[in-house]
Amino acid sequence: MSNNTNHLNEIIISMAKKRGLNKTFCPSEIARQLALKENHWRSLIESVRLAATELIDKGQLVCKQHGEIVDIRTAKGPIRLQIASD
């Protein structure tokens, strides 16, 4: 795993922990936080989703859609991320 991926994973987990067990967040929130220019965040979404996928595979995050846990790899449309409960 590269340093960039590690850093991205840390940012995602930090956001998830800040939100807590009962709150979710959109991957675009992370992308917007990282974007150097206002419109640049869209180009970062795929990287954020890939990093989130790794964290989901490790059992640290869940991906939700309409309040239900879904597979991030097959989910179509907007998703939300949430820290995984123990």
pLDDT (tens digit, 9 = 90+) per residue, 34-62? 998 888 999 999 999 999 999 999 999 99
Element spanning 69, H or E:
strand 68-69
Residue 4 banded pLDDT, cuts 50, 70, 90: confident
* CATH code of domain 3-83: 1.10.10.10
pTM over 0.75: yes
Q: Are 10 and 74 in contact (CB under 8 A)?
A: no
Q: Where are the domains of the chain?
A: 3-83
